[in-house]
Amino acid sequence: MMNILNSRQGNSKDRKENNQDMKKKSIAILQPEVPHYREEFFDLLRQKCETMDLYVYNSFDDTRKNGFKINTEKLKFIPNKQVKGFLFYNPRVLFDKRYDVIVLMLHFAHITTWLLLLTKFLHHKKIILWGQGISVKRYLKEERRPDWKLRWQMALADGVWLYMQKELEMWRKVFPKKKMVALDNTLSGVDDMLAYRGDKSALKEKYGIKEKTVLIFCARFESNYRRTDLLVEAMKRLDSKDFGFIIIGAGRNKPDFSGFDNVHDFGAVYDTDVKRELFAIADIYFQPGWVGLSIVEAMAYGLPVFTFKRSEETKQCVEYSYIKASQNGMIFENMDECVSVISTIAPEEIRRLGDNACELVRTRLTPAQMAEKAYSVVEQL
């Protein structure tokens, strides 16, 4: 009889522990802002949590001035002070007893984050750090020797979200037992992009685009690292009768394209239907430098990505590692190679590369998968 009672008590205890393990976690996340392309990820992540609150430290007006559409209903502003690149924010709201985990940015200039990491023994909050894990501007140096400040932050954290697999592999060598995951950075709406295929011929006629092969560029012209000089040089050297360019984007560093008859400049496009039609017209996504999330959009529309090799002169964001030369895009060493390849590549090869790009998004880069990977670290804490 005693054995039976012990067995029942043991089973009851196991069920209780399992129920505790299955309990949804409540989290708070700190970000500079939440642009429209990140909303689907947060909505899906929120469904996995008991509670999820989003705190931002950039003002809503500043976010709009930077060209982002935002939904302010789901955001909470956290009081802060920014001085010469350093951020001091008020941590009191993050101490809410509802939160099991707080997700802060993997950023060495966030002074309050250091304080929260160093005082975990007082506030007892589990901390996940989220970031690229590397400086895009110092990428070639830091991929050989990871930044010591980020290393200290990660050592103090309970878990880490990195954007990409390449940087995860780099930090795994430093912290083999750390609870870390690569989210595989993506953007809202890729499922709709994957499903959309427009009538290329009809759309070309609609927009008055007559060139046989069309390259599209879609990014804001704010960064000094876009390598717009290479974009303009390609326009000059490719046959204007055969190759056309669609430009989507505005910004202070935008070149004057008015001298090119084969350049179709649409400026900033906020109409999703128009944007989809322009991507449907294009055959190749071409961005010489500083490629980021825009290449995921291009791949979702079935376009291969053509760009230049990462170097000190041509910097690339972490999403650059999605591009596999001759598999889902092309990576050029120099302009001569760029012009030669674009001038001679067969339409069948462009379609093959585009199909592979589309498959990468379909199998790895959906917001649902990104949310699943993010929560996998949360539930371990």
Report pLDDT digits (tens) over 247-281: 999 999 999 999 999 999 999 998 999 999 999 99
Q: Of 188, 173, 162, 166, which Cα lies nearest the Cα of 376?
A: 162
Terminal C-alpha separation, the chain: 38
pTM over 0.85: yes
What CA dihedral angle connects 142, 148, 153 and 154, to 10 degrees? 60
Predicted confidence (pLDDT) per residue in 83-101, tens digit: 999 999 999 999 999 999 9
Q: Which residue has the tokens 């390609």?
A: 234
Higher pLDDT, 232 or 14: 232
Angle at alpha carbon of residue 359, lines to 316 and 143, rounded to 5°:
25
Taking residue 220's Cβ as centre, other Cβ atoms within 10 Å add up to 17
Q: Of 215, 218, 225, which Cα lies nearest the Cα of 312?
A: 225
What CA–CA distance (Å, rounded) separates 350 from 303? Answer: 8
What CA–CA distance (Å, rounded) separates 52 from 223? Answer: 32
Angle at alpha carbon of residue 242, lines to 356 and 319, rounded to 5°:
35
Structure tokens at 36: 């429209």
User: What pLDDT does residue 67 have?
Assistant: 57
User: What pLDDT does residue 73 have?
Assistant: 74
User: What pLDDT does residue 59 have?
Assistant: 80
What ranges in 208-252 are assigned the alpha helix state H? 228-237
* Neighbour-count burial of 368, counting CB atoms closer than 10 A to its CB (0-12 exposed, 13-18 middle, 19+ buried): middle
